[in-house]
Amino acid sequence: MSDSEFPTPDVDVEGIEPETLKESIDAGEEIFLLDNRVPDDVEEWAIEGENVEVLNVPYFEFLAGEPDEEVFEQLPDDQQIVTLCAKGESSEYVAGQLIERGYDAAHLENGMQGWARVFEYKEIDADSDATIAQYQRPSSGCMSYLVVSGDEAAVVDPLRAFTDTYQQDARALGADLKYAIDTHVHADHVSGVRALADEGVEGILPAAAVERGVTYDDAVTQAEDGDVFEVGDVDIETVFTPGHTSGMTSYLVDDAVLLTGDGLFAESVARPDLEGGDEGAPDAARQLYESLQERVLAHDDSVIVGGAHFSDAAETADDGTYTATIGELKETMDALTMDEDEFVELVLSDMPPRPANYEEVIGTNLGQEDQTDEEAFELELGPNNCAASSDAMTSD
């Protein structure tokens, strides 16, 4: 049964906007979610939080009559129940059924697809005259960055689904986008560099990333190690850091913030198998070790690191961003103090499942496959899984 075929509830059902739900979670409110998707979907991708309780009861149990009484025994009668599904239709029906039984229930507008549209702006407290902001997508853990100085701006690792957001936020800060920069060929989301380049923004890709088979190389600038791009009064310096991919590149903003893409995160390091597969992963892991030791950790301990992803294991800094200084990472992340063999063994020991549709996403970002905006959005739904497992990465 498609969403459009679900019966209309006989009672009024309140719809909760995804942004409102995120605000409630961040405020520490106790949230009870009744997830009406099938168990496999919930296991792969769900809304989580220390103050979030989730009960999974597929919608078809309500369509078939009523679930077993033990289901209702697990529902709270002293707080609101928020139902959710993939797109928002079946959950509205389920919420209506609960209301008819006397529960306080509402449903998540547009379901998990609506949740995937939540995109939050947080400014990094950095020693820079530029405004350096981190965008956080809680549904997948993807992050990108806006750098604004004077009347110029650059976006690093833009997502195609949010190209309008970057443009609007830059203008709100009195600037126009000058550059759209990728750190590498992403495997978990569709890049916005090409779309922004089509709108007149200068697109920048690492030269080594272009060598993987980018078909639109004539429409972008290729960045080599050491290249500098000026944004207003600040410089963005190219720092080649291969390992996660052969083209992985970091960007040092105003000697204050190092944007490491998928090379290094606040709670983990990159997985090395998305380009060369299992066979090429050991060599890539050794290359990653060299990049981290010689190209990343060689910077001053006060430099702030901002990766392109965060996981459930990550904690925010005081400014609300998923960042940490190089000095803090050296102290807390065991993987950064190991010798090479130990590092490689750890990184390869417990990698999570590969990102959903990653081969199609890579093909799209190379320009070898075409996707409409809606198709691109559907491709990247779900967790990013671009990091090695964070379970053994940090010290207690």
Q: Which of 33, 85, 86, 347 is catalytic?
A: 85
Helices of type H across 292-339: 326-332
Beta-strand pair 31-35/81-84:
parallel
Residue 85: active-site member: yes
| Per-residue tokens: 134 | 């981190």
* Cα–Cα distance, 271 to 168 (Å, whole number): 33
Question: Contact 335/272 with Cβ under 8 angstroms?
Answer: no
How far does CA 238 lie from the centroid of its chain? 22
Geometric angle at alpha carbon 83, from 75 and 18, rounded to 5°: 135
First CA to last CA distance, the chain: 48
* Cα–Cα distance, 176 to 173 (Å, whole number): 9
Phi, psi for residue 256 in degrees, rounded to 5:
-120, -35
Helix, strand, coil percent content, the chain, rounded in steps of 5: 30, 25, 45
The residues carrying an active-site annotation are 85
